[in-house]
Amino acid sequence: MANNAGPCSSKRHLLARISSSILRYGGPVWIAALQTQRNRVKLSSTFRLMAMRVASTYKTISSVIAEMIPIGIILVEDNECYKRKGIRGIRKTMRVDSMAKKQHDWDSSEKGRLTHRVIPVLSTWVNRRHGKVTFYLTQFLSGHGCFKQYLHRFEHTVSPFCSKCINAEEIPEHVIVVCPRFDAARWEIPSLNVESVETRTRGMPSAVQ
């Protein structure tokens, strides 16, 4: 699927859930195979591709934005539920454990720190009832996109600085919160800052997109 065209994120999520169910089928039978790194890499690369398509993003993005728990953690959850089948509410209990594992990994990771500022608590992001992830929103959440500072890292632009502001690198926070190019769009969203974006995904300025 193209990043900037095709189904919306909710429909992509539906397709990803179906594909994930296929990946997870019979997991408690073959989960021991994941002790081999080669198998883990194969499984994770397939799952990561789905997460990328859900979030309409680049290869360097965390699955957090796609609201998807890594397949390895989910398979452990499935296995525990299978071993404790018949216990009422076991899936809900194990899902809390899965989220806690992912939260720990997310807090201790050195990657995706801009995303962590916006999405510090995974359960809040995953369980929210508003907003859809788009190609443009993902670029802001990750910092990986059409920002001069990011493009300059890969030598796609001569300078990392904003064309409007003096000595200011064009990073997501600068574009969304500070740069005067988007003052008109920003006026529609009072008290906008990096940390508040999670609760404002329906109100991202269209001019910034």
Does residue 133 belong to any structural domain of this protein? no
Mean pLDDT confidence for 47-71:
85
Does residue 2 belong to any structural domain of this protein? no
Closest CA to 170 of 135, 143, 138: 143
Say which residue, 79 or 128, is predicted with more confidence.
Answer: 79
Kindly state whether residues 72 and 161 are assigned to the same domain.
no
Kindly state whether residues 155 and 58 are assigned to the same domain.
no
Mean pLDDT confidence for 91-118:
92
Domain count, the chain: 2
pLDDT reading at 206 higher than 50: no
d(Cα 82, Cα 80) in Å, to the nearest integer? 5
Task: Confirm whether pTM is higher than 0.75.
Answer: yes
Kindly state whether residues 18 and 118 are assigned to the same domain.
yes
- State which residues form the domain around 156: 146-200
Closest CA to 103 of 125, 82, 130: 125
Per-residue confidence (pLDDT) for residue 199, from 0 to 100: 56
Number of other CB atoms surrounding residue 29 within 10 Å: 10
Does residue 69 belong to any structural domain of this protein? yes
d(Cα 153, Cα 127) in Å, to the nearest integer? 34
Closest CA to 176 of 194, 160, 201: 194
Question: Tokens 């919306």 label which residue?
Answer: 8
Distances (CA, A) of 150 to 103, 166, 177: 26, 18, 17
Per-residue confidence (pLDDT) for residue 18, from 0 to 100: 94
Does residue 209 belong to any structural domain of this protein? no
